[in-house]
Structure 1
Amino acid sequence: MKIHRIETFRTAVPLHTPFKTALRTVNVAEAIIVKITCDNGIVGWGEAPPTVVITGDSLCSIESAIQQVIKPLMVGRNLLNYEYLFQQLHSSLVRNSSAKAAVDMALYDCLAQQCNLPLYQFLGGYRHELETDYTVSVNSTKEMGDDAEAYVKKGFDVLKVKVGKDEIETDIKRIHEIRQRIGYEVKIRLDANQGWESKAAVKAIRKMEDLDLNIELVEQPVPAHDIVGLKRVTDAVDTLIMADESIFTPHQAFEVLRTRSADLINIKLMKAGGIYQAQKINSMAEICGVECMVGSMIETRLGITAAAHFAASKKNVTRFDFDAPLMLAKDIVLGGIEYNGRKITLPTNSGLGIDRVEV
């Protein structure tokens, strides 16, 4: 079973409403789509969105990394020697995690198809259904309250609220407004996207605790490089603290776990470089008694399907942030995961379960 051809395509899908965080505003979901064709006819799919403010990867850099560096190493190789291929993939160039992730997805898609198994079963098969949260973008206090109320009416019982772009007092007013609108049965997760410094984060989270805003967790409150600050926040508050941008690689995960600098870890395939490395991060976290969430960038249902297969396969992944396809104005993917409100069902056919991508 040899890799016969690796192709890349550009795609762009508009969002029905802008996605706003402390780091960026997204109006169009751009991506590089990867298609791997094997000599036995099996076809595998992958996706890599450019997220320059987080991964540093652009459309051009992703495309170039795959076509100029990764592709020559893969074409003609036996896919069943997949440990060798994944080692080659991750040693072929430094960083470029999104390019690696797209190829990684396609490789796993092909491998699971060869074994005639859905990918989540190939990886472990812990569950076949998930429930996603829904993200409330940074906007005016009233608009965020309106959005939160609308998402709850649609059946979402976990909201991920973006903060960190403005003054902390403004963020607290927004959270208070949202809590007033949706009551206390709905979980609220905050994502500061590195928007606070450690002392300010401690002050803000303690105040929210004093106001009984009932925040489940706060994701990446401090800059990615500030592991000391991350630990300072984790140690100083009762609310769970999740590391996101601080952890791309297994080595970074090891350091956060070794120092107990966070209570939880958010694994994203685009940061980890795909499923191969994501499994290592999750395994280390599980050994240390630290649960993981699997999240995503603004991706189509292709990339989210790959992430969902990984998340569904592992017991230690207990939280899921897969709402991105629900933000898109159109769907370019045939097959893959299916949404019913907040509920996600994994496909039963082999591999990712992707039949076609409109590229």
Structure 2
Amino acid sequence: MSDLDQQITGYDVWHLSLPVTSRRDHGIGSVVGACEIIVLRLTTEDGTQGWGEASPWSVFTGSPEASHAALDRYLRPLVMNRTVAERRAIMADAPYVVAHCTEAKAALETALLDLEGRLTDQPVWQILGGDTPQPIPLSVSIADPNFENDLILLERITADGVGIVKLKTGFREAGFDTMLLDRIRSDFPAFRIRVDFNQGLSPDTAEARVKDVAAFAP
């Protein structure tokens, strides 16, 4: 029997709350205090474990409660006692047992891929047929409503060698956004800047605000 013919005999789901050390404001809402994730662990007959994570945000694609229910109630019967080799079939069946809940399905697929990689001693990128992975530059989001806090963060990530920042905009007046861009451009000229309004623009103001931002060549 191939290792991939092992049945999935364990299925555990946790709903976790992770502390947020500093408030993060976005155009569509704020993250403060804690963020919630769902963690899935699949276990095979020989005890091998594969892990997946759903990271939903209710204002985007769904709530953590929905992801937890999808994994715990609807997807569990689809997975239990099937083999790891059935990964593609399991994922093809998933839309027919619960609609939407994309984060939950991503967590399931990640856990199945993790299992397959561990059982075959392959990295997941190789299972998926990809080329040798290249380094991905790290980007850090700037989203504290108190910009003085983010100035401290900018100093720290400069020392850490981070070269890209993503500025969260659209949650305050336009002048605040341009002030942030001007300050980053003048005090931290080495940073590449990305700008993310996160659905924080209205149709009647979007064009003017985007033109203001474009002047900084992000």
Q: Give the TM-score normalised by structure 2.
A: 0.87
State the partner residue of 1:192: 197
- 1:251-299 Cα shifts (integer Å, max 9, x gaps): xxxxxxxxxxxxxxxxxxxxxxxxxxxxxxxxxxxxxxxxxxxxxxxxx
1:173-252 to structure 2, matched below 5 A, reads 173-183=179-189, 185-210=190-215, 213-215=216-218
- 1:301-359 Cα shifts (integer Å, max 9, x gaps): xxxxxxxxxxxxxxxxxxxxxxxxxxxxxxxxxxxxxxxxxxxxxxxxxxxxxxxxxxx
Q: 1:86 aligns with which of 84, 91, 103?
A: 91
Given residue 164 of structure 2, which amino acid in structure 1 is its aligned partner? V
Given residue 84 of structure 1, which amino acid in structure 2 is its aligned partner? A
Report the alpha carbon displacement of residue 168 of structure 1 after superposing the two structures with TM.
Answer: 1.7
Report the alpha carbon displacement of residue 128 of structure 1 after superposing the two structures with TM.
Answer: 5.0
State the partner residue of 2:47: 41
Give secondary structure in 2 for the equivalent of 1:80.
helix
Report the alpha carbon displacement of residue 45 of structure 1 after superposing the two structures with TM.
Answer: 0.5
What is the rounded CA distance, in whole Å, between the counterparts of 2:158 and 2:75 in structure 1? 43
What is the rounded CA distance, in whole Å, between the counterparts of 1:41 and 1:86 in structure 2? 22
State the partner residue of 2:126: 121
Q: Does 1:136 align with 2:142?
A: yes
What is the rounded CA distance, in whole Å, between the counterparts of 1:207 and 1:20 in structure 2? 20
- 1:41-89 Cα shifts (integer Å, max 9, x gaps): 321001123411112222x322221121100111111221222111112
Report the alpha carbon displacement of residue 39 of structure 1 after superposing the two structures with TM.
Answer: 1.8
**Contact 2:23 2:145 (8 Å CA) reproduced:** no
- 1:182-228 Cα shifts (integer Å, max 9, x gaps): 12x31000111010134523212222334xx220xxxxxxxxxxxxx
Q: 1:187 to 1:61 in 2, by over 3 A?
A: same
Give secondary structure in 2 for the equivalent of 1:4.
strand
- Residue identity (%): 22
**Contact 2:24 2:145 (8 Å CA) reproduced:** no
Q: Give the TM-score normalised by structure 1.
A: 0.55
What residue ranges of structure 1 are gaps of 5+ in the alignment? 216-359
What is the rounded CA distance, in whole Å, between the counterparts of 1:202 and 1:138 in structure 2? 25
Q: Which moved more, 1:108-117 or 1:185-194?
A: 108-117
Given residue 35 of structure 2, which amino acid in structure 1 is its aligned partner? A
Q: 1:154 aligns with which of 157, 160, 175?
A: 160
What is the rounded CA distance, in whole Å, between the counterparts of 1:57 and 1:115 in structure 2? 34
State the partner residue of 2:107: 102
Q: Does 1:172 align with 2:178?
A: yes
State the partner residue of 2:3: none
Give secondary structure in 1 for the equivalent of 2:85.
coil
Report the alpha carbon displacement of residue 132 of structure 1 after superposing the two structures with TM.
Answer: 0.9
Q: 2:71 aligns with which of 45, 66, 78?
A: 66
State the partner residue of 1:19: 24
Q: Which structure has the larger Rg over C-alpha atoms?
A: 2
Give secondary structure in 1 for the equivalent of 2:170.
coil
Q: 1:158 to 1:88 in 2, by over 3 A?
A: same
What is the rounded CA distance, in whole Å, between the counterparts of 1:152 and 1:163 in structure 2? 21
Given residue 39 of structure 1, which amino acid in structure 2 is its aligned partner? E
**Contact 1:21 1:138 (8 Å CA) reproduced:** no
Give secondary structure in 1 for the equivalent of 2:23.
strand
Q: Does 1:112 align with 2:117?
A: yes
